[in-house]
Amino acid sequence: MDSRNQEEDVQRETPADAKRCQTCQLTACVAVATTAAALTMAVLLCLALCAPQAEQTSKTSGKELQQCQKEHHEVKLMLHAVTQDSRCRVCPAGWLWWKSHCYFFSVGLQDNCRWNESAEFCRRHNSSLAVIKDSAEMEFIQGVMRTFPQFPFLWVGLTDAEQEGQWLWWDGTDVQHYTLVMVEWDADHRDCADLRENGSFFAADCDDYGPWVCKRES
């Protein structure tokens, strides 16, 4: 497998940065909600005023209806522009949101890494290699994997490096705590687990290079 020629150029997030970001996001999203509510009320008021006038004359109703439609279109454009504000993103750019969590799939975005390097990348981004807790989450990750033509495996937060044969998730729980799945191909020199397209976990050499998935709360 190809090795990385350059170290990833990433920005480190400090607790102060994260706090400022959360405050910024909250302020922006409150503004979005307030603007959306005001614009929606304006549209409803416009429609309410148009309805009785439309009953008076068909000529007047046609003009009023066109005006309401125009204003409705302008409101939609304004709402679209406001909701594109990057401060209101639930997840960082390049991350996918699913059920209150953000996921980063390295395929196409980062060079393949060893398991430890993948774990370090996740750590620097306030996350960890993914801990898969149920079948729904597994299906979500599998669905993303299926969107790539060549996706042989994916590093996840599962290892038996501390004690041979005892496979633990990144959060310290046993592999079967969340799912009744065994790690296949286990051997002394294979201490890191990868996820395959069929939902199986395989033991692999931690020095192998491959893509990975990080997970963090949104």
pLDDT at 181: 84
Question: How does pLDDT run across 90-144, given as a tens digit for each residue?
Answer: 899 999 999 999 999 999 899 999 999 999 999 999 999 999 999 999 999 999 9
Phi, psi torsion values for 70, nearest 5 degrees: -65, -45
pLDDT at 12: 38
Evaluate whether 196 touches 202 at the Cβ level (below 8 Å).
yes
Evaluate whether 203 touches 183 at the Cβ level (below 8 Å).
yes
pTM over 0.85? The answer is no
Q: How far apart are CA 212 and CA 132, in angstroms?
A: 13
End-to-end CA, the chain: 33
Please name the helix (run of DSSP H) or strand (run of DSSP E) that holds residue 29, with its range, or none. helix 15-54
Q: How far apart are CA 117 and CA 120, in angstroms?
A: 5
The three-point CA angle 31-35-37 to 5° equals 120
Residue 212 pLDDT level (bands cut at 50, 70, 90): very high
User: Tokens at residue 7, please?
Assistant: 């170290």
